[in-house]
Structure 1
Amino acid sequence: MFDIGWQELFIIAAIALIVVGPKDLPRVLSQITKYIRKARGIAREFQSSIDEVVRQADLEEIRKEVETSSGFDLKDEIRNAIDPGGEMTRQFDISDVKADIERSAKAVTEGQASTPTETPAVYGPPQPEDTTAPADPLPADPANPQSR
């Protein structure tokens, strides 16, 4: 720290013994150690306050980063990555399906054709209606006549 050797320390001790005297030297040394402890405590407190300021500055930067990233909408980012042009969204738009169903229902109630003349792409080709009678769900058990 100060790079004091044994010779310098001996000279300082001899001067202190001559100036203060042997009778008051222990009291003076205890006062000096109290001041050194206070100085070390102040230095430690100063260092910890500097560390706290640095920590708060880092936390402030992190808080700002979180605030800027809070405007990040993951749903929009995924939508833009999967369907950038919005073509799939337009194909699967539920309002088109609802409009087609309402048109079909209106045509049926007015006595017009029950199927729309134009088949939308989302539905696929129209399926023929099944006019066969439903099969018997539970076949009879010949061993148990009460199974029906």
Structure 2
Amino acid sequence: MFDLGWSELLIIGVVSLIVVGPKDLPVLFRNVGRFVGKAKGMAREFSRAMNDAANDAGVNDMAKTFKTATNPLGSAMDGVKDAAKSMTSLDIKDDPEAAKKAAEREEQRKKIEANTARMAAERKKREAEEALRKAEEMESALKADKSGDGDTA
């Protein structure tokens, strides 16, 4: 607000300490804080009142018109974005055909999920059977090696 640095604040603090005295300095700072708070509140209220007056006068509409005039490509892209939003946010309640299609898509999604889960379970079962078969082969080979070692000894 006043663009004061740390060195300026330090000088102000030392001078106020000398002039006011250490006894009354907290009271002074409290009063200055209240004054600054009230000033900020008044500035905020003034700014809000000015914005409300500008809105009532239609300044925002004029600003939008000037923006459109100065940046036609940007305003065209805003129009495209608005159109895309309106197309993607279909109201299914008003369109029975859209509601029917949405129900069909939901049913197809559920079927796909069920089929995927079934296929994953079958694959896991197949992998488990293969792993069990390999483990049995390795165990039988190990037993054969042990029995073969016993014959040579």
Do the two structures share a fold, i.e. TM-score over 0.5? no
- Structure 1 or 2, whichever has the larger Rg, is 1
What TM-score results when the alignment is normalised by the length of structure 1? 0.38
Higher RCO structure, 1 or 2 (CA under 8 Å, sep 6+): 1
